């Protein structure tokens, strides 16, 4: 039995968990409304019953006082026959009276309808008594009323004292039947309320089951399908035997998935073609090119970059570029690469001397690769230039300029020296000395002219 209850509880919990939030709220609202309606109905029934009980109490008390005022003189005269006849007529003409009992001062019943002592005696003597409170005789001016349950409903018991000329003669007990109209109305109202309450919950349960089978399940399947589509599984299809608007929705979803699948196939073909074009273009570039994603994984590398970094026999695609770079390059690029990947920088340029696989000087330019809206980072482009020859030419040029500068200073110094001597001591020099100084200055000027022409010729060759 416990195992069955546990299975039922688990089934209900599983069924409840499958319901959507609006369905749960609807069930909770229905429960609250049904409880409020049921509570109000039961309150109304209880109010009707209380009012009926009060009316029956008043009716029984008034009826008892009326009857007691008529039979008290007969009881005082001990005219029980007349009491019996009067009581019989009264009992027969009043359907609301359930019983009538007469008891003496000690509470012993001496007459009753439908009970009468001689009618119930057999071989054994049966004595009927009414047990009254001990102080009832002292307070015998006020009728006493109570209720007790019976198979036909609640009976009102009225105890009226029999007093005649100030003397307490006994007590008259009258049982008042419940009002059949009120009882029937109360029972009917109660039954209708229970029926309405049960009907509401049966409708709620049936509606929840219908909602689960016809609405929640298809929507759940649609939700799973949408998640698969969002994850890139365009082969997702939904096949449920439903009709109406949900059928149209599922048909539209399957049609959308089919179009996306075709579009994906077309895009894959186009992307493959574009990638082939890009690889061909990159492979023809004289400079080295390496394309990275935001995780430093190599996406694309051209032959020039493979030659510069010695990757001819290594498969570096889909590998972390920092694991394959020479140590000197790795030391220089690690921090800038991570800064660019984090969005802290957009570009960087470095000049690095390589010792492996051969001695060479390279220039590395790092730039960001953004989406078409230039909002999100898609990767990092690394351009590698072998500038070894350029560095050598710059060194040779620097050496040449240094030598030319030295060669230019010598004729300039000589020209300046002889000119200053002529200017300062020209009057003290002879004509021969003056002519010698001027010839030397002229010779050094020609030498300087030749040096300047050589420099100009070199500049024209470089341009």
Higher pLDDT: 244 or 108? It is 108
pLDDT tens profile 230-239: 777 777 777 7
Is the pLDDT at 317 greater than 80? The verdict is yes
Q: How confident is the model at residue 125 (pLDDT cuts 50, 70, 90)?
A: very low
pLDDT tens profile 19-56: 666 666 776 777 777 777 777 777 776 777 677 777 77
For CATH 3.30.450.20, the residue range(s) in the chain are 44-120+127-184, 286-386
CATH code that applies to domain 44-120+127-184: 3.30.450.20
Name the DSSP class of 297. B
Q: How confident is the model at residue 117 (pLDDT cuts 50, 70, 90)?
A: very low
Question: What is residue 209's predicted lDDT score, i.e. its pLDDT?
Answer: 64
**Does an H or E element contain 300, and which?**
strand 298-301
According to CATH, the topology of domain 392-462 is Helix Hairpins (1.10.287)
pLDDT tens profile 139-158: 656 678 777 777 666 778 88
For CATH 1.10.287.130, the residue range(s) in the chain are 392-462
- CATH homologous superfamily of 286-386: PAS domain (3.30.450.20)
- For 57: left if phi > 0, alpha if psi spans -120 to 50, otherwise beta; the answer is alpha
- R_g over Cα of the chain: 60
User: What percentage of the chain has pLDDT greater than the value 70?
Assistant: 78
Least confident of 2-6, 207-211, 399-403: 207-211
For residue 335, give both structure tokens.
């921090």
Contact (CB, 8 A) for 403 and 395? no
Question: What is residue 445's predicted lDDT score, i.e. its pLDDT?
Answer: 86
Please give the Cα distance from 326 to 436 (Å, whole number).
66
Is the whole model's pTM more than 0.75, yes or no? no
Q: Looking at 123-243, list the stretches that DSSP marks H as alpha helix, in order from N- to C-terminal side.
A: 180-211, 217-230
User: What percentage of the chain has pLDDT greater than the value 90?
Assistant: 0
pLDDT tens profile 260-295: 777 777 777 776 776 676 666 666 677 888 888 888
Please give the Cα distance from 248 to 333 (Å, whole number).
57
Bridge partner residues of 430 (DSSP) = none
Is the pLDDT at 135 greater than 50? The verdict is yes
Mean pLDDT, residues 110-129 = 55
Mean pLDDT, residues 308-335 = 86
Q: How confident is the model at residue 213 (pLDDT cuts 50, 70, 90)?
A: low
Higher pLDDT: 133 or 110? It is 110
Question: What is residue 369's predicted lDDT score, i.e. its pLDDT?
Answer: 85
Least confident of 317-321, 378-382, 399-403: 399-403
Q: What is the mean pLDDT of the chain?
A: 76
- Angle, helix 180-211 to helix 21-76, in steps of 10 degrees: 170
Question: What is residue 126's predicted lDDT score, i.e. its pLDDT?
Answer: 46
For residue 408, give both structure tokens.
């230019």
pLDDT tens profile 326-348: 888 888 888 888 888 888 888 88
- The 3-state DSSP class for residue 107 equals coil
Query: C-alpha distances in angstroms, 457 versus 172, 399, 400?
Result: 153, 17, 13
pLDDT tens profile 340-390: 888 888 888 888 888 777 788 888 888 888 877 777 888 888 888 888 888
């Amino acid at each position: 039995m416990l195992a069955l209850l546990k299975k039922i509880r688990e089934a209900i919990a599983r069924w409840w968990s499958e319901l959507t939030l609006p369905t749960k709220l609807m069930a909770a609202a229905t429960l609250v409304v049904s409880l409020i309606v049921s509570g109000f109905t039961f309150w109304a029934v209880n109010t009707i019953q209380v009012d009926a009980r009060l009316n029956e109490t008043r009716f029984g008390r008034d009826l008892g006082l009326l009857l007691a005022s008529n039979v008290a003189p007969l009881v005082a005269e001990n005219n029980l026959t007349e009491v019996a006849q009067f009581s019989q007529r009264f009992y027969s003409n009043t359907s609301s009276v359930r019983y009538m009992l007469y008891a003496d001062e000690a509470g012993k019943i001496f007459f009753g309808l439908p009970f009468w002592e001689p009618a119930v005696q057999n071989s054994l003597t049966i004595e009927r008594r009414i047990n009254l409170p001990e102080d009832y005789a002292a307070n015998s001016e006020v009728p006493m009323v109570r209720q007790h349950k019976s198979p036909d409903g609640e009976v009102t018991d009225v105890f009226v004292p029999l007093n005649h000329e100030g003397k307490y003669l006994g007590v008259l007990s009258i049982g008042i039947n419940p009002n059949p109209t009120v009882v029937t109305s109360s029972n009917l109202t109660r039954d209708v309320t229970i029926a309405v309450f049960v009907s509401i919950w049966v409708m709620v349960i049936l509606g929840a089951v219908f909602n689960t089978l016809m609405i929640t399940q298809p929507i759940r399947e649609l939700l799973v399908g949408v998640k698969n589509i969002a994850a890139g599984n365009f082969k997702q299809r939904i096949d449920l035997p439903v009709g109406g608007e949900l059928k149209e929705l599922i048909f539209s979803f399957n049609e959308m998935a089919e179009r996306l699948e075709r579009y994906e196939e077309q895009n894959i073909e186009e992307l493959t073609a574009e990638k082939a074009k890009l690889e061909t273009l990159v492979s023809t570039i004289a400079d080295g090119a390496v394309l990275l994603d935001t995780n430093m994984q190599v996406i694309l590398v051209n032959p020039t970059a493979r030659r510069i970094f010695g990757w001819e026999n290594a498969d570096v695609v889909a590998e972390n570029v920092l694991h394959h770079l020479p140590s000197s390059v790795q030391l220089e690029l690690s921090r800038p690469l991570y800064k660019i990947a984090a969005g802290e920088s957009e570009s960087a340029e470095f000049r690095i001397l390589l010792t492996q696989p051969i001695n060479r000087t390279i220039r590395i330019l790092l730039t960001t690769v953004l989406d078409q809206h230039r909002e999100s980072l898609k990767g990092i482009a690394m351009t590698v230039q072998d500038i070894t020859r350029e560095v050598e030419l710059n060194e040779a040029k620097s050496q040449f300029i240094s030598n030319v500068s030295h060669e230019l200073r010598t004729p300039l110094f000589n020209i300046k020296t002889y000119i200053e001597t002529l200017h300062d001591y020209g009057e003290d020099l002879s004509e021969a000395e003056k002519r010698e100084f001027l010839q030397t200055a002229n010779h050094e000027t020609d030498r300087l002219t030749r040096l300047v022409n050589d420099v100009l010729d070199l500049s024209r060759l470089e341009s």
